[in-house]
Amino acid sequence: MKKYEKIRLVLFTLSGLFVSYFLILHVIHGSVFAKVITLCIASFFLIVLSGITYRMEQETKQKSNTIRQIIWVLFALYLFELVSFLFFENGFGRNGIGSIVFSKNVYRTYLNTSFNIIPFRVILFYLVGFIRGTQGIFHVIINLVGNFISFMPFALFLPLLFPRFLKSKYFIFFLSILVLVVELVQMLLLTGSCDIDDWILNVGGAVLLYFIFKKCQVYDRLKKVVD
């Protein structure tokens, strides 16, 4: 057991260091790539810490709230990065509340250039552009793949932390409203784009992963570890 305690201490220290560096990167306006990589490393150490903790609890037959607390920390870090990226990431031209301009002309320009309510219009634009060679792979990944995976972690965190979301109707309804609110807030702040295709990709990715987890009984297995 002493060996496990030493490993836990090392993992806890490394997790704390990378979480701290992750937060510092936001203060000094580090690159998106650096933030994501740092968050992934911190998450890896926290997940391994959860595994070691679960192993100790199995051997000692003593339960604690440590694993649930780690899940909450992971969820909080994800939400922090998601909000930062959606509304405050300077590298993508997003300046949060500083973007608000009470001008009809500015909003008219935004509606003409960054507002879309036609389903699959933007998705087809990037796919056709990539096939024809007018859109690079980087733009396709950022705009299509990025939107598809960005809300996927909700499929893991919500059902684990809030049992109500184990029911499909609650999960789909909540996520649909959440993404809709995000799109509307982006329009209000004139940051990013208010796009039905973003909504389709965001919700579609999370719902797809949700049903994969349900089909593979991932929630049942993880609930045994968390609870």
Q: What is the tens place of the pLDDT at every residue in 104-118?
A: 777 888 888 889 999
Helical H segments across the chain, by residue range = 2-27, 32-60, 66-83, 104-113, 121-132, 137-140, 146-150, 154-161, 168-189, 196-215, 218-226
Q: In angstroms, rounded to a whole number, what is the distance separating the alpha carbons of residues 154 and 80?
A: 13
Tell me which DSSP letter residue 62 carries.
-
Diameter of the chain by CA atoms? 67
pLDDT band at 38 (very low <50, low <70, confident <90, very high): very high
pLDDT 10s digits, 167-223:
999 999 999 999 999 999 988 888 888 999 999 999 999 999 999 999 999 999 888
pLDDT band at 98 (very low <50, low <70, confident <90, very high): low
Per-residue pLDDT, averaged over 156-162, amounts to: 96
Length of the chain as a residue count? 227
Which element (helix H / strand E) includes 134?
none
pLDDT band at 100 (very low <50, low <70, confident <90, very high): low
Mean pLDDT of the chain: 89
